[in-house]
Amino acid sequence: MRALLIAQAVVAIFLTVSILLQNRGSGLGGVFGGDFGGYYTKRGMEKFLLYASVLFAFIFFVLAIVNVRLALNS
């Protein structure tokens, strides 16, 4: 049980870092008269960080469910 909590904390840190490292793009500039017609694709490190964030979020979710199930059973 303790190992799952530690794993969940580590995954939470990695998830937070991967989200914070992502490029913020145009931010609110697009809302207030920015380029509405542009198409933007993610490449390289941005794409890796996007996939890493999705993976870490999924792992965090699964670990949370496992922790709840184990807490209810004990």
**pLDDT tens figures, 38-57:** 566 778 888 899 999 999 99
Tokens of residue 31, six digits: 């809302």
Cβ contact 7:63 at 8 Å? yes
Q: At what angle do helices 2-20 and 45-73 cross, to 10 degrees?
A: 150
% of the chain at pLDDT higher than 70: 76
Please report the pLDDT score of residue 74 as a whole number: 78
Q: pLDDT confidence of 34, banded at 50, 70, 90? A: low
Which distant-in-sequence residues (6+ apart) come within 8 Å of 7 by Cβ?
63
Q: pLDDT confidence of 15, banded at 50, 70, 90? A: very high
Q: Which helix (H) or strand (E) holds 53?
A: helix 45-73
Q: pLDDT confidence of 67, banded at 50, 70, 90? A: very high
